[in-house]
Structure 1
Amino acid sequence: MANLMNEFPEIDIKQDEPLMKYTYTHTGGPADWLAFPKSIDEVKQLVQYARANQLPLTVLGNASNLIVRDGGIDGLTMILTKLDAITVDGNQVTAQAGAAYIDTTIAARDHHLSGLEFAAGIPGSIGGAVFMNAGAYGGETKQVVTAATVMLPDGTIERLDNAGLDFGYRHSSVQDNHGVVLDATFTLEPGDYDQIKTTMDDLNERRAAKQPLELPSCGSVFKRPQGYYAGKLIHDAGLQGYTHGGAQVSTKHAGFIVNIDHGTAADYVAVIEHVQATVKDKFGVALQTEVRIIGRN
């Protein structure tokens, strides 16, 4: 296989780069090739190259709700955080895939636009938020996204409206068509700056009080099972503080698994599997992961 750094000298590309340097869990083995495209055109070049050369392609944003296995990732991995432009036009905010959701909420606030307050503390990128319909505190991305630009695996670009994104609980059509989110447009309502800021500050204070933000984690690990709360089930199963290697069910919030001492992805997966087995045994509830687990063992 050709050397990608020679193929694309203008793109920041690293070989055998440890992904633990980029994930919120501080775990993850090396990417065979890791690229940081800084334009849509560079994304398209890489997508088309991967397709033409039958190179596995993985796309990451902030890697906040993600576990990369210790064996790393085959082929080409793209991190889109250099695609971070945010523009405001009237009551619409358009943010590129690599823009932080938090920065997007701040841009909306500063333009006196309401509707994104729920996302004030969500640590992911816009691309990841659309990909998985990220939500918090009663709000979901699907409620405010009116369109997104998506690049399909063959390099063609489509503009999908809200219906075309087929949002569900932690789901969008981008997961099904294996596309790459390039940007998203949020349609918001005019609001009062002070009121918007107060709401955002309140949610961030609640998040900081309840969640273990001081330790590396992959965010909320499990989807909410119908009729239950994952964190309460885990707490009631007596699993808070359960530790395997360097990964631990948070003693602050049972819905989080934190890296307390050089934990590995294998440690995380072992804790997840133990929690799933215990909760199933005690309560008959099958916990499904919200966090994406990718890569080779």
Structure 2
Amino acid sequence: MSKLLTQLKDANIGKVLENEPLAKHTTIRIGGPADILIEPSNSENLKKALEIIKSNGAKWRAIGRGSNLLVADKGIEGVVIKLGTGLDEMKIDGDTLTVGGGYSIIKLATIISKKGLAGLEFASGIPGSIGGAVYMNAGAHGSDMSKIVNKALVLFEDGQLTWLTNEELEFSYRTSVLQEKRPGICIEVVLQLKQGKKEDIVAIMQKNKDYRRDTQPWNFPCAGSIFRNPLPNYAGQLVEEAGLKGYQIGGAKISDMHGNFIVNAGEATAQDVLDLIDFVKKSIFDKYGIKMETEVEIIGSK
């Protein structure tokens, strides 16, 4: 690992950190260290970094802004590639938007709303990056990324850069082809939006933002929705009806505001969260016969 670390630093690809606690890079503020964490300064350096990583036979994975993510207490072996500064450019051409994978989705939604472009209103208040939103097919308020993505530029593990169309991304509920079938990093995406009335778009954005503020625990570190909705049921409603709101294991607590959120109530560990997830799964299955599946991505050594 020391050889790899030296090569990455010598390549001047951007930030290169050793034994970096991932609690600093996740919205729930939980997670052990990555052997190496890098933040490439541009797409070319991202590709260069991946070539170096592969030549050393090291494991790697990418993260965005750390939402919808739970990292194990022992951390992650190998290299974590963080998409952020340097992969956050944006270009508007009429109602078509080209944006880097590291761009904040909240910031983007706010900017384009003020330009009278509609289609991303659902993202008001959703933390994370555009690349991560494509990867997870992020959504809310009856819409998601699949509705607006035209195509995405993906960097695959073998170093190949390929544009995938909306159809090729195989979007479904909170998933895309990039998660397991064709693992890759979304480094740029083209969004097809629509012209709209600025006042109407801003009003919808504010309504969505207010709803999140009033119903979700953003005053505590959390990872966003923990469970996928087992349609036609809703995960949060099932948890609440089962009387589990406020239930706590260690520092991990089911939010008093919303049943589908687990918050870091103070020095929570990843194991606390995992134990609480298992408790909820068992409780809901025993009570309703419904199997709960996690929406939050769980990574690292258990």
Q: Same fold judged by TM-score > 0.5?
A: yes
Distance 1:5-1:103 versus aligned 2 partners, 3 A rule:
farther
Give the 3-state SS of the residue equivalent to 2:178 in structure 1: helix
Of 255, 260, 266, which aligns to 2:260? Answer: 255
Match of 2:199 in 1: 194
User: 2: distance between equivalents of 1:113 and 1:138?
Assistant: 18
Asked whether the equivalents of residues 8 and 52 of structure 2 are also in contact (C-alpha less than 8 Å), the reply is: no
Deviation at 1:53, TM superposition (A): 1.5
Deviation at 1:86, TM superposition (A): 1.7
Match of 1:230 in 2: 235
Deviation at 1:8, TM superposition (A): 3.1
Residues 152-231 of structure 1 correspond to what in structure 2 (within 5 A)?
A: 152-175=156-179, 176-231=181-236
**In the alignment, does 2:24 pair up with 1:24?**
no
Match of 1:123 in 2: 127
Of 69, 74, 82, which aligns to 2:72? Answer: 69
**In the alignment, does 2:248 pair up with 1:243?**
yes
For 2:117, the aligned partner's letter is L
Asked whether the equivalents of residues 4 and 53 of structure 2 are also in contact (C-alpha less than 8 Å), the reply is: no
Match of 1:137 in 2: 141
- Give the alignment's TM-score, normalised by structure 1: 0.98
User: 1: distance between equivalents of 2:73 and 2:267?
Assistant: 12
User: 2: distance between equivalents of 1:224 and 1:71?
Assistant: 29
Give the 3-state SS of the residue equivalent to 1:146 in structure 2: strand
User: 1: distance between equivalents of 2:88 and 2:8?
Assistant: 24
Of 2, 5, 13, which aligns to 2:16? Answer: 13
Match of 1:287 in 2: 292
Q: Which moved more, 1:25-34 or 1:106-115?
A: 106-115
Of 93, 96, 101, which aligns to 1:97? Answer: 101
User: 1: distance between equivalents of 2:128 and 2:169?
Assistant: 19
Deviation at 1:110, TM superposition (A): 2.4
Gaps (5+ residues) in structure 1? none
Deviation at 1:5, TM superposition (A): 4.1
For 1:51, the aligned partner's letter is K
Asked whether the equivalents of residues 5 and 14 of structure 1 are also in contact (C-alpha less than 8 Å), the reply is: no
For 1:217, the aligned partner's letter is C
Residues 34-67 of structure 1: CA deviation (Å, up to 9, x unaligned): 0010111111112122222211111000111000
**In the alignment, does 2:54 pair up with 1:51?**
yes
User: 1: distance between equivalents of 2:203 and 2:49?
Assistant: 42
Asked whether the equivalents of residues 39 and 82 of structure 2 are also in contact (C-alpha less than 8 Å), the reply is: yes
User: 1: distance between equivalents of 2:53 and 2:176?
Assistant: 23
Give the 3-state SS of the residue equivalent to 1:163 in structure 2: coil
User: 2: distance between equivalents of 1:102 and 1:37?
Assistant: 22
Match of 2:5 in 1: 4
Deviation at 1:3, TM superposition (A): 4.3
User: 1: distance between equivalents of 2:233 and 2:76?
Assistant: 34
User: 1: distance between equivalents of 2:139 and 2:7?
Assistant: 40
Asked whether the equivalents of residues 225 and 287 of structure 1 are also in contact (C-alpha less than 8 Å), the reply is: yes
> Aligned-residue CA RMSD in angstroms?
1.0
Deviation at 1:295, TM superposition (A): 0.4
For 1:271, the aligned partner's letter is L
Gaps (5+ residues) in structure 2? none
Asked whether the equivalents of residues 106 and 127 of structure 2 are also in contact (C-alpha less than 8 Å), the reply is: yes
Deviation at 1:6, TM superposition (A): 4.4
For 1:33, the aligned partner's letter is I
User: 2: distance between equivalents of 1:18 and 1:283?
Assistant: 39
Asked whether the equivalents of residues 225 and 296 of structure 2 are also in contact (C-alpha less than 8 Å), the reply is: yes
For 1:162, the aligned partner's letter is N
User: 1: distance between equivalents of 2:199 and 2:112?
Assistant: 12
Q: Indicate the percent of aligned positions where both proteins have the same amino acid.
A: 38
User: 1: distance between equivalents of 2:142 and 2:231?
Assistant: 15
User: 2: distance between equivalents of 1:112 and 1:231?
Assistant: 33
User: 1: distance between equivalents of 2:185 and 2:16?
Assistant: 18
How many aligned residue pairs are there?
297
- Give the alignment's TM-score, normalised by structure 2: 0.96
